[in-house]
Amino acid sequence: MNRNAAITQSYATGGVIGKDKVGGLVGYTDVHGTIMQAYATGSVSGINSNVGGLVGNNFLGTMTQAYATGSVSGLDNAGGLVGYNAGTITQSYVTGGVSTQNSVGGLVGYDGGSAVTDSYWDIETSGQSSGVGGTGLTTAEARQASSYAGWDFTNVWFQSGDMRLILRSEAATPVNGVTTITNLHQLALVGANLSGSYVLGANIDASASAGADAAGIRSAKGFVPIGPAYATGAISGGNIVGGLIGQNYGAANQAYASGSVSGGGAVGGVIGQNYEAVDQAYATGAVSASGSQGGLIGDNYVTVTSSYLDTQTSGLVNGVGSGSSSGATGLTTARMRNPFTFIDTGWNFANIWATPKAGGAPLLRSLVIDPSYDYYIRLSGNMSATYGDTIGTSGIARAGVGVGNVSVGWGSAISATTNVGNYAYGDSNVLALTYSAGVAGDYYLDFGADALSVAQRAITVTADAQSKTYGNANAALTNTVGGSGLVNNDTLSGSLSTMGASSPMSASMG
C-alpha cells in the first residue's frame, strides 16, 4: 500500500500465506496510508515475521474502524490485527487465535512506537493475555455493544443479540429502492434497516451461523433474528411448510403471516416445524395439509407464549398440529381485530405493534405503511346515578396506551336533566373526550359494554292534615312532596280527593 493511499469499506475472506509482511487484507501500509471501515476473516500465515490478521506491517499508517476474525501464525511479530505497528490504530477489534515464537499479541505483535486507542481483543479466542496496546475482553464481553465505549453504533457499527460487531458499511447498496442480499453479514444488517425492501440474490451458505468457530461473528446460539418480520403471500410446498418460516431454530418473536399455507405434513400458518421459543406471533391465513397442520405451527417441540390464530379465517381451531399447543390461542376474527386482546397479554402497542385505521389484525409499527392508530384507550366501569343529580365521571376508568393524553367528560346527551335509562359509553354524545396529544383520529377507543344507568328519583306525596265543621263543605285538600323532591322544574299534576261518605273523616262537632 503506497504512501498517502486509502482503503475504505473493503474486506477479504480468503486465507493468506506468505513469507513476511503478510496481512489478511494488506501486507504493508506506508507513510500516511489510511485503512478505514475494513475487515478480514481468513486465516493468515507467514513463514517469517510481521504477520497480522488485517495488516502485516503498519508503518506510520492509520487504521480505524476495522476488525479481523481469522487465526494468525508466524515466526515472530504476529498480532491478531497488525504484526508490526508503528502507526495509529483506533476503534478496532480482534477475535482470531494468534501464535508465534517471538513478539506476539492479541491485537498487535510488536510495538514500533505506535498509538493504539479504543481497540480490543478477545483474550479467550485469541489465546493471548497481552494485546500490546488496546484492552482485552472475555468472549462474553466482546459480544456486547456496551463493552465498546464511545463507538458509534448508530452510523458505523451494528450489533444484535450476542453476535460480534460488524460494520454498517457492509450492507449492500439499494438499487431502485431494493437491496439484494448475497451473504450472511448483509442478511444480518437487514436488522439495521427494517423499513427497507430486500431480495435474496443468491443461495447463502449459513453454516457459519452454527457458531462452531468461537472467534467468528456468530455464537453457538446461531443466527441472531433480524428483528420483527411478517409475510403476506400464499405459500405451498411439500412437508415442513410455514407462512413465514419453514423450519425454525431461532427465536421467532413479534412475527405474523396472513397468507394461505398448504402442503403435506408439518404445515403451519407461521411456522412449519419449530425448535425454538415463539412469543407474540399470530396467523390469519387459511391452512390446509394432508398431514399435521396447525393454524400457527405445524409441529412444535418447544414453548409458545402469547401467540394466536384466527379460527375463522384459518379454518382450524387448533394452533399446533403436533406437539405442545400451550400458549397458542384461537380467536374469532372480531377479537383478532381488537388491539386490547393483545395489549392485555403484554403486547407493546406503544412502540412495536399497531392497529390499522382501516381495521384488521395488528401490524408491526416498524414495517407498516398503512395508516394506523398511535394511541389505544379503553373506557370501562359501569356508573349509576339518580335522575336530577349532578353526575361525575370519576367512576370511568382509562387503560391502554396514551391514557395520560385523554380527559373524560360527559357529552351533550348526559346532564342532570337526562331521563331515566341506560346510556352506553359508545353511544352518540354520551362521552366527550379531549386530547392533549394528537387528534381524535389518532386514538383507537374501546368502550366495551359498560354504561351509565340513570335511575328514577324517589319522592313521597303526603296529604296535609285538614279539619272542618260538621255541616260545612270539605276543606280544600293539599299535599306536601317529600323524599328526594322534585327537580328540573318538574311538577306534580293531579288532585287529592276524600274517600267517600262511608270513609272516616275528621270533623269538629258543636
CA distance 223 to 217: 10
Question: Is residue 17 located within the same domain as residue 123?
Answer: yes
Instruction: Please identify which residue in the block is written with the cell numbers 299535599.
Output: 479
Q: Percentage helix, strand, coil, to 5, in the chain?
A: 10, 40, 50
Q: Does 177 map to a domain?
A: no
Show the DSSP H helices in 127-262 as ranges. Answer: 139-142, 184-188
Q: Does 203 map to a domain?
A: no
Q: Does 491 map to a domain?
A: no
Question: Is residue 13 located within the same domain as residue 133?
Answer: yes
% of the chain at pLDDT higher than 70: 96
Q: Does 348 map to a domain?
A: no
Tens of pLDDT, residues 40-82: 999 999 999 999 999 999 999 999 999 999 999 999 999 999 9
Domain boundary among 343, 361, 388: 343
Q: How many domains does the chain have?
A: 3
Question: Is residue 64 located within the same domain as residue 131?
Answer: yes
Lowest mean pLDDT among 101-105, 238-242, 281-285: 101-105
- Supply the pLDDT for residue 227: 63
Task: Among 95-109, 197-211, 307-321, name the most confident range.
Answer: 307-321
- Supply the pLDDT for residue 505: 39
Question: For the whole prediction, is pTM greater than 0.85?
Answer: no
- Supply the pLDDT for residue 477: 86
Q: What is the mean pLDDT of residues 410-436?
A: 97
DSSP assignment of 81-138:
SEEEE-SEEEEEEE-S-EEEEEEEESSEEEESS-EEES-EEEHHHH--S--SSSEEE-
Residues near 494 by beta carbon (within 8 Å), at least 6 away in sequence: none
Domain boundary among 419, 440, 455: 455
Question: Is residue 417 located within the same domain as residue 324?
Answer: no
Question: Is residue 321 located within the same domain as residue 423?
Answer: no
- Supply the pLDDT for residue 506: 42
| C-alpha count within 13 angstroms, C-beta hemisphere, residue 459 | 16
Question: Is residue 306 located within the same domain as residue 380?
Answer: no
- Supply the pLDDT for residue 500: 60
Q: Does 103 map to a domain?
A: yes
Question: Is residue 396 located within the same domain as residue 339?
Answer: no
Domain boundary among 343, 358, 387: 343
Evaluate if residue 224 carries a pLDDT over 70: no
Question: Is residue 49 located within the same domain as residue 122?
Answer: yes
Of 347, 298, 352, 288, which is closest to residue 320 (Cα–Cα)? 298
The whole domain housing 321 covers 229-343
| Band of pLDDT at residue 494, cut at 50, 70 and 90 | confident
| Band of pLDDT at residue 2, cut at 50, 70 and 90 | low
Q: Does 441 map to a domain?
A: yes
Question: Is residue 434 located within the same domain as residue 313?
Answer: no
Question: What mean pLDDT, rounded, does the chain reach?
Answer: 91
Q: Does 199 map to a domain?
A: no
Question: Is residue 116 located within the same domain as residue 15?
Answer: yes
Q: Does 430 map to a domain?
A: yes
Question: Is residue 30 located within the same domain as residue 128?
Answer: yes
